Structure 1
């Protein structure tokens, strides 16, 4: 069951919804047949069990009771917050069990469980509130898995708390909702906390297909350590007409020199003089300082490059997505 992007329910409906922290990890369905084994499947349906050997003991957690659990695999940073960049080093290893076991010792994962569509029998038509009670009663609190809390009502407070703690967002779930496999339902609403930043355009990548002849993405920079540091790329947020206007501005600023220090290795990059300032929305930063999931918001003609954004931290980690 998938959540639909949206906003908080109206205050008059608040008491009819539960609120869970939106996690930044890999969504999984967990199959416990009751014979001591466990099977993990990604959203694609792929068997990814071998990628996470530390979750194997979960197979015995419910004894002989067969169950299907819905959850998310996370890698946690030093503050106990989900870090997708850390998780990337654990994903895609289902066919490399030896490497997966080695990585498990370096970056152990944690599985958070938030639903139970099957428990000895189908619970698909059972309301969320009753499924949640059944899930919590299972006592699934292990070394690498847990059932985080859910708050009924107080949605505005829950959302504010996720923002204050730098978390990805909130998932709102209607208490009377059934479990709809494979459906992006309005009974589950996801709200992603979005931050914004001023950025300096230092280059662009050509578009493909219907965007041929237009910028497919622009390359972003922010000042840090007295230089313009590469901060990622953004390819969404413009209409076709706005892309055309942007193409004209970038053409006037064409340069043979990369303005970023250090220069990123980006095939097909066209560099420009770093004079255009824009504002982007993004979810969080990687440890290398790159913006995750950026979306173009607007040009900032009111700002010069020297006036834009406060310095970003020096590079202290590896690159992320």
Structure 2
């Protein structure tokens, strides 16, 4: 059977729905993985497409058996491929070693044996020859649960109806990426970033020391395009990433003057990071940044600038990088 090509519906960044509307929404854990649409034609086969529409089936050979999970019933499923760390939490950095291997079957098979991925399923948009796009989320989710798709490398985690504040708090307490809120009466809108789905990302904030910067381009010529920041680890200043967003125009102008005054030819980071075009400064400026998670090497993921911290001396800034990341 030929299945329709369906682009995944996307969530809009936002906040929890008002308390008075809480029971009109379902809440699912936001996972840090690769969004996929899975096509099961009903002949035992499986085809996976990324959000871009690119076929990526070959990258994840351990998911092949999903193709037979519904017997001869054809289906199109929406989900997320995850790589899990030793604590069972999604690790995007670990997943990156698996992405892009759709045309490298031998390597994909080797990595699947060492670090298998897990596919979490959260929607069904076509089933047994019938489109479910116009059904409300509540009914689609019931259909998905009835399929009982739980296997060695895939599962259907439960969605919680109501209790949004408790759900969001639980994701924070367990160090998870965030929460997706889905309106119970929402239809499936292929390829649309809809207000009927709201994503809330748990962000952390920490103090950092500015040790360098990269010149901006275009309208930012003469201004910093990004600052290079670090934190202490074992008595040295370790580079933890570049921050290129979060400033107003006035703040960027102010920062430019401070960086020029602190310029030096000596890189303050140990070891010296490979950042072409970097300009170094004496690490006396303290800033606060927001970020989502850290990589296993201690680098900040998705950092953005919050503010300068003139109230803090460099020696007071930030706790050390966690020992397990040094």
TM-score relative to the length of structure 2: 0.96
Aligned residue for 1:102?
A: 110
Question: Deviation digits for residues 256-275 of structure 1, max 9, x if unmatched?
Answer: 11101111111111110000
* CA apart distance, 1:316: 4.6
> Matched residues in 2 for 1:39 and 1:283: separation?
31
In structure 2, C-alpha distance between the alignment counterparts of 1:134 and 1:220, rounded to whole Å: 48
- Secondary structure, counterpart of 2:256 in structure 1: helix
Matched residue SS, 2:285: strand
Q: Is the 8 A contact 1:225 1:313 kept in 2?
A: no
Q: Which residue of 2 aligns with 1:182?
A: 191
**1:87 partner SS:** helix
Q: Displacement, 1:197? A: 0.3
Report how far residue 95 of structure 1 moved. 1.3
Cα deviation digits, residues 262-320 of structure 1 (max 9, x gap): 11111111110000000001111111111111110000000011001111134758xxx
How far apart, CA to CA, are the structure 1 residues paired with 2:107 and 2:176?
30
- 2-side partners of 1:160 and 1:148: how far apart? 18
Give 1:5's aligned residue: 13
Q: Which residue does the alignment assign to 1:54?
A: 62
Q: Write out aligned runs for 1:118-267 (5 A).
A: 118-120=126-128, 121-267=130-276
Question: For structure 1, which runs of at least 5 residues remain unmatched after alignment?
Answer: none
Superposition RMSD in Å:
1.0
Q: Distance in 1 between matches of 2:136 and 2:19?
A: 21
Structure 2 Cα separation of the partners of residues 54 and 316 of structure 1 = 30
- SS of 2:210's equivalent? strand
How many angstroms does 1:97 deviate by?
1.0
Per the alignment, in what secondary structure is the counterpart of residue 76 of structure 1?
coil
Unaligned runs of 5+ in 2: 1-8
Distance in 1 of aligned mates of 2:174 and 2:191: 31
Within a 5 Å distance, the mapping from 1:275-294 to structure 2 comes to 275-294=284-303
Q: Equivalent residue for 1:44?
A: 52
* Counterpart secondary structure, 2:189: coil
Q: Which segment drifts farther, 251-260 or 205-214?
A: 205-214
Give the alignment partner of residue 92 of structure 1, picking from 100, 103, 106: 100
Q: How many residues align structurally?
A: 317
Instruction: State whether residues 24 and 82 of structure 1, in contact with CA within 8 Å, keep that contact through their aligned partners in structure 2.
Output: yes
Q: Does 1:74 align with 2:72?
A: no
Which whole-Å CA distance do the structure 2 matches of 1:298 and 1:256 have between them? 26
- State the secondary structure of the residue aligned to 2:168: helix
Counterpart residue number, 1:113: 121
Q: Deviations over 1:191-213 (max 9, x none)?
A: 00011000000001111222222
Where do 4+ consecutive residues of structure 1 move more than 6 Å?
none
